[in-house]
Chains A and B, each alone.
Chain A
Amino acid sequence: MIGFIGLDVGSVSTNIVFLDDEGKVRESVYLRTNGRPIPAVQKGLRQISRLVPLRTVIRGVGATGSGRHLAGIIAGADVIKNEITSHATASSRLVPGVRTVLEIGGQDSKIIVLRDGIVADFAMNTVCAAGTGSFLDQQAARLNVKIEDFGGLSLKASSPVRIAGRCAVFAESDMIHKQQMGYDLPDILAGLCEALVRNYLNNVGKGKDISGPVVFQGGVAANLGMRSAFERALNKEIIVPPNYDVMGAVGAAMLARDYVSRGAPTGFKGFGAAETDFHAGSFECDGCPNCCEVVELSENGAVIARWGDRCGKWSNNVSREKIS
């Protein structure tokens, strides 16, 4: 059989999916990036290679996420695409007719407005990280609640407490205050979800036309409390698709499938890339006052890619970075 691979290397998690010939998600791997994207990609490739059926030919690879360029070069990706387009592609194909995508990941959150299957508008969080998964993670740790239990517990709330959601720092002190006052744990958790949703809608969703069907995806969509807080705030049904936590990777794989379907051969380096010795280093160029920090990636000692220079003096020397 033939299939496609999608890589999504984010700040918190690295996700790898395997799609079959028809574009159905067959396997997925979810790993923590732990700030070391190269080993994470290699580990993920190793794990997915064990899940892929025997005698499978990988016909295309797509990479996305903030580490997409690195991942793309390591795996030999055919398509290197930004997260917004990847997420939009996945949800518009898996949930036909979707008009709004709410996506909350570890470090960032975004809203994508689709009309007739194409992106019409989008926004990402800018200066503040209050409306993201990391914030929920931290508060759960502070309350001694496992993040997996967070959502279920919050649904037991009878009257969610009001927590200031405008700023993560204010929210935290507000929450501690409410704890000290003796409020019930589920009420506090539900209050946190509501604060986060309020923050998201006021910041990321500001001025956007949020109409249904609404899809909620990203790691935070696992949180039942967040789903119901969105439902209450928007007064709309919220759809959480089956592969909500790996949608970026799914979208990247779909885009790779589109790309090679036009007859292009794949650049996939094979699962052996997991065993190759990759090394990333950096240096400061002293060619002009810009002092660019140039990143250099080498494979078995030979430089295969450089980026980070403004003028192209270093990156052009190797190969032109593929942005398609």
Chain B
Amino acid sequence: MKVTFPHMGNLWICLDAMLQYLGIETVVPPPSSKKTLNLGSKHSPEFACMPLKLNLGNFMEASERGADTIVMAGGCGPCRFGYYAQVEHIILEDLGYKYSLVVMEPPEKHISELLSRIRYITGNKPWMEVIRGIKFGYRKARAVDRLEMAAMRKRPLEKRAGQTDTALTEALSIIAGSAYGKLDDAIARASEIMDQIPVDRKPVLKIGLVGEIYTLLEPFANLDIERKLGRLGVEVDRSIYLSEWVNDHLFMGLIKGLRSSSLYIKSSAPYMRHFVGGHGQETLGAAVYYNKKGYDGIIQVLPFTCMPEIVAQSILPGFSRDTGMPVMTLIVDEQTGESGYLTRLEAFVDLLAEKGARKEELA
């Protein structure tokens, strides 16, 4: 059995660690690229969103490297994603690929449901081992998130353009390559690399990224928005991090002390009191949260045709009117032309900077 999984940012580091610890052979697909998108969109329904097309492309490329089993997340609720694992599997079968499929779905009642799906892959490994493997993967996810957060803080301040990203790449590869038992040491080394980036002291603008999880986490999908904003002198935070999402949705909040989507659900109340699928409600809640935290602006990112985010998008102008918080929505699809995208980002940053300058004048 050679197991593969779709890309979503640095998710692969955590999945790869977990599976390899359990002695399962893995095939990490090549990073999502134009080739992945071309392969995926050629065989996907035209009206599906970009995540489905990229998932499919990932699986096709992984198959070239010998993968035969897919581990894929599922979901519930009105977002189509809950059905993507099955749809993708059928498309792959029609194309003649021989894949077996394991869907990791958020447990409906109890964490044991998740464990039994993991059992399918792990075979007769003792439970303690399985749990240790999951914990190992989770700790890597947490470490990766911390590194990404550090990069988002450092980018606007770096003395030389690109230094943060060079450091981040190195730090991530240390985490990715570290074996069980050596992780603490790897985390220490990786964070030291991030600490050593030379930075200037200067005021920065702060933007909160909200929206759909896949497009937030996958730099290929969001055209590297964190990096672009960082280079424009903006400190970025995003409403969803992998480890927080895993804790919320797969561990059902087992680990305490992490920022959780329940916080967003609570704060979304003035604008949306219902689950609308996907992360629609979290998007509004996170907008309210960033406003309270004193951020300068909010950018919503979503894949074209994403229903839950469209619902949120239509309510965001009302939030913006009430609070005076500037909000911009970016819809991503198959386009890879970056100049129009960069124009919008630059203009939004200009807007925030001018607004900030005006506030200071009046104060």
Across the interface, do B347 and A289 meet the contact criterion of CB distance under 8 Å?
no
Minimum CB distance partner of A85 in chain B = B350
User: A82 with B346: in contact, given A207-B317, A289-B33, A316-B162 (CB under 8 Å)?
Assistant: yes
Which chain B residues (330-363) contact chain A, with CB distance < 8 Å? Answer: 331, 333, 339-340, 342-344, 346-348, 350-351, 354-355, 358
Bound CA span A85–B348, Å: 9
Q: Which of A121, A122, A290 contacts B31 (CB 8 A)?
A: A290
In the assembled complex, B161 has its CB within 8 A of some CB on chain A: yes
B178 to chain A, nearest CB (A): 21
B342 to chain A, nearest CB (A): 8
Interface size class of A (residues with CB under 8 A): 20 to 34
* With contact pairs A66-B339, A66-B343, A82-B347 given, residues A311 and B354 touching in the complex (Cβ less than 8 Å): no
A129 CB, nearest partner CB in chain B, Å: 11
By a CB distance below 8 angstroms, the chain A residues around B34 are 291
- The yes or no answer to B160 lying at the interface (CB within 8 A) is yes
Partner among A122, A291, A311, A316 whose Cβ is within 8 Å of the Cβ of B347: A122
- B113 interface residue (CB < 8 Å to A): no
Question: A127 in the interface, Cβ–Cβ < 8 Å?
Answer: yes
A286 contacts across to B, CB distance below 8 A: none
Is there contact, CB below 8 Å, between A108 and B351? no
Measured between alpha carbons, how far is A116 from B351 in the docked complex, in Å?
A: 13
Question: Using a CB-CB cutoff of 8 Å, which residues 308-322 of chain A contact chain B?
Answer: 310-313, 315-316, 320
- Neighbour of B161 across the interface among A84, A126, A316, CB < 8 A: A316
User: With an 8 A cutoff between CB atoms, is B122 at the interface?
Assistant: no
Are A119 and B351 CB-contacts (below 8 A) given A83-B343, A289-B31?
yes
Q: How far is the CB of B9 from chain A (nearest CB, A)?
A: 14
Q: A118-B355, A289-B31 are in contact. Are A124 and B161 (CB under 8 A)?
A: no
- Give residues of chain A (283-318) contacting chain B, Cβ–Cβ below 8 Å: 289-291, 310-313, 315-316
Q: Is B227 at the interface (CB under 8 A from chain A)?
A: yes
Any chain B CB within 8 A of the CB of A233?
no
Residue contact B346 to A312, C-beta cutoff 8 Å: no
Contacts of A143 in B (CB 8 A): none
A127's partner among B320, B321, B333 (CB-CB below 8 A) is B333
- A120 interface hit (Cβ, 8 Å): yes
Distance A323 CA – B230 CA, assembled complex (angstroms): 12
Query: When A and B form their complex, which 3 residue pairs have the shortest distance between CB atoms, in order from nearest?
Result: A312-B162, A84-B347, A207-B317
B329 to chain A, nearest CB (A): 8
B31 close to A124 (CB less than 8 A): no
Partner of A312, one of B31, B165, B321: B165
- Asked whether, in the complex, the Cβ of B346 is within 8 Å of the Cβ of A290, the reply is no
Alpha-carbon separation in the docked complex, A218 to B344 (Å) = 18
B130-171 to A contact mask, C-beta < 8 Å, 1/0: 000000000000000000000000000000111001100100
Is B162 in contact with A124, judged by CB distance below 8 angstroms?
no
Most chain B CB within 10 A, of A82, A83, A316, A320, is at A82
A222-239 interface bits toward B, Cβ cutoff 8 Å, 1 = contact, 0 = none: 000000000000000000
User: Are A127 and B331 in contact, CB atoms less than 8 angstroms apart?
Assistant: yes
Given A82-B347, A207-B317, A316-B161, A120:B33 Cβ within 8 A: no
B30 at the A/B interface (Cβ < 8 Å)?
yes
Residues of B within 8 A of A316 (CB): 160-162
**Chain A CB within 8 A of B326 CB:** yes
Pairwise interchain contact B343-A84, C-beta atoms closer than 8 A: yes
Chain A CB within 8 A of B99 CB = no
CA A179 to CA B232, docked complex, whole Å:
50
Interface residues of A in 140-168 (CB under 8 A from B): none
Chain B residues with Cβ below 8 Å from A312 are: 161-162, 165-166
Contact between B160 and A118, CB atoms less than 8 A apart: no
Instruction: List 13 A-B residue pairs with CB atoms under 8 Å apart, sorted by A's residue number.
Output: A66-B340, A82-B347, A84-B347, A121-B320, A122-B351, A124-B343, A124-B344, A127-B304, A208-B317, A311-B165, A312-B165, A312-B166, A323-B231
